Chains A and B, each alone.
Chain A
Amino acid sequence: MEKSLTWREFIVTRAIQASGYSAIVFVALIFFFLLREGAPALTDVKLSALFSARWYPIEDYFGVLPLITGSLVVTIGAMLIAFPLGIGTAVYISEIAPRWIREILKPLVELLGGLPSVVLGFLGILLVSPFLRVFLDLPTGLTAFTGSLLLGGIAVPTIVSVAEDALDAVPRSYREGAWALGATRWQTIWYVTLPAAKSGVLTAVMLGVGRAIGETMTVMMVTGNAPVLATALGSWFAPARTMTATIAAEMGEVANGSAHYHVLFFIGIVLFLISLGVNVAASSVVFRTKKRAERILS
Chain B
Amino acid sequence: MHKIIIESLSLQYSDGTESLRDVNLSIHQNAVTVLFGPAGGGKSTLLRCLNRLNDLAEVKASSGRILIDGENILDPKIDVIALRRKVGMVFARPVPLPMSIRDNVTYGLELAGEKHRATLDEAVERSLTLAAIWDEVKDRLDTLAVALSGGQQQRVCLARVLALQPEIILLDEPTSGLDPISTGKVEAALQELKKEYTVVLVPHSVQQAGRTADHAAFFLQGELVEYGEGKSLFTAPKQKKTEDYVTGRFG
Contacts and interface: CB of A to CB of B under 8 A. Distances in A.
A181 interface: yes
A182 B85 contact: yes
Interface stretch (B26-34, B91-99, B183-191, B194-202): B91-99
B236 interface: no
Contacts of B144: 296
Interface string A54-69: 0000000000000000
Interface string A158-196: 000000000000010111111111111001000110011
Interface in B108-135: 108, 111-112
A184 to B, nearest CB: 6
Given A181-B111, A183-B111, A176 B53 contact: yes
Contacts of B161: 180-181
Contacts of A176: 53, 56, 91, 95
A175 B147 CA distance: 20
B112 to A, nearest CB: 6
Contact of B111 (A173, A191, A195): A191
Contacts, number: 57
Given A182-B112, A296-B147, A177 B84 contact: no
Interface residues of A, number: 19
Contact of A196 (B53, B82, B98): B98
B51 interface: yes
Contact of A177 (B97, B112, B147, B164): B97
Contacts of A177: 91, 95, 97, 157
B51 A195 contact: no
A195 B107 CA distance: 14
Interface residues of B, number: 25
A173 B98 CA distance: 13
Contacts of A171: 95
A182 B97 contact: no
Nearest to A183: B111
A181 B98 contact: no
Contact of B51 (A175, A180, A191): A180
A295 to B, nearest CB: 9
Contact of A182 (B81, B95, B147): B81
Contacts of A196: 98
Interface string B144-160: 10110000000001001
Interface string A191-213: 11001100000000000000000
Interface string A237-267: 0000000000000000000000000000000
B93 A182 contact: no
B88 interface: yes
Interface in B32-86: 51, 53, 56, 81-82, 84-85
Contacts of B56: 175-176, 179
A27 B147 CA distance: 41
Contact of A180 (B82, B88, B93, B112): B88
A192 B97 contact: yes
A282 B112 CA distance: 35
A66 B81 CA distance: 55
Nearest to A180: B89
A293 B244 CA distance: 46
Nearest to B84: A182
Nearest to A181: B108
Contacts of A191: 111
A173 B81 CA distance: 18
Contacts of B160: 181
Contacts of B157: 177
Nearest to A191: B111
B93 A173 contact: yes
A173 B154 CA distance: 13
Contact of A184 (B81, B89, B147): B81
Contact of A173 (B95, B112, B164): B95
Interface string A32-55: 000000000000000000000000
Nearest to A192: B97
Contacts of B146: 296
A181 B93 contact: no
A224 to B, nearest CB: 47
Contacts of A296: 144, 146-147
B91 A179 contact: no
A176 B111 CA distance: 15
Interface of A: 171, 173-184, 187, 191-192, 195-196, 296
Given A181-B164, A187-B111, A195-B98, 5 more contacts: A178-B111, A181-B161, A182-B108, A183-B111, A296-B147
5 contacts: A177-B95, A177-B157, A178-B111, A183-B81, A196-B98
Q: Which 3 A-B pairs have the closest CB atoms?
A: A181-B108, A182-B85, A180-B89
